[in-house]
Amino acid sequence: MLDIGGGAHIVHVPGHTHGSIALHLPEHGALFTGDTVAASPVDGTVMPGVFNLDRAQVLAACLRLAELDADVACFGHGDPALRQAARSLRNAARA
Residue 75 falls inside a structural domain? yes
Write the pLDDT tens digit of every residue in 16-40: 999 999 999 999 999 999 999 999 9
* Signed CA dihedral, 37, 81, 69, 7: sign only: positive
Q: DSSP string covering 11-22, please?
A: EE-TTSSTT-EE
Q: Residue 17: which domain range? A: 9-93
Total-model pTM: 0.91
The Cβ of residue 80 has, within 10 Å, a number of other Cβ atoms equal to: 17
Tell me how far CA of residue 6 lies from CA of 14, 30, 71, in angstroms.
25, 11, 16
pLDDT of residue 2: 85
3-state secondary structure of 56: helix
Q: What is the number of domains present in the chain?
A: 1
Residue ranges of the chain with per-residue pLDDT less than 50:
none
pLDDT of residue 50: 86
Residue 59 falls inside a structural domain? yes
